[in-house]
Amino acid sequence: MRRVRPGAVVCRGAGSAGTHASCDDAAPRGGEERALTSVPAGETYEEPEEAPRLWHVTLSVSGAEAPLSEVRRALEQLAHDHPFLMTSRYAGDHAEIRYWEEARDLHDAAAVALRLWGEHRRSAGLPPWEIVGLEVVDRVTYRQRMAEGYGPRPATPVGVHPF
HEC per residue, 24-88: HHCCCCCCCCCCCCCCCCCCCCCCCCCCCEEEEEEEEEECCCCCHHHHHHHHHHHHHHCCCEEEE
User: How large is the average pLDDT for residues 35-41?
Assistant: 63
Domains parsed from the chain with CATH numbers: 53-162 (3.30.70)
Q: Is the pLDDT of residue 38 over 50?
A: yes
Mark 110-121 as b/e (b = at least 16 C-beta within 10 Å): bebbeebbeebe
User: How large is the average pLDDT for residues 56-84?
Assistant: 92
Q: For the chain, first and last CA: distance in Å?
A: 48
| pLDDT value of position 150 | 80
Q: How far apart are CA 61 and CA 90, in angstroms?
A: 9
Those residues whose C-beta lies under 8 Å from the C-beta of residue 22, and which sit 6 or more positions away, are: 11, 14
96 near 86, Cβ under 8 Å? no
Q: Is the pLDDT of residue 14 over 50?
A: no
Q: Is the pLDDT of residue 47 over 70?
A: no
89 near 95, Cβ under 8 Å? yes
Instruction: Return the bridge partners of 56, or none.
Output: 100, 137
> Residues of the chain with pLDDT > 90: what percent?
48
Q: How far apart are CA 123 and CA 40, in angstroms?
A: 47
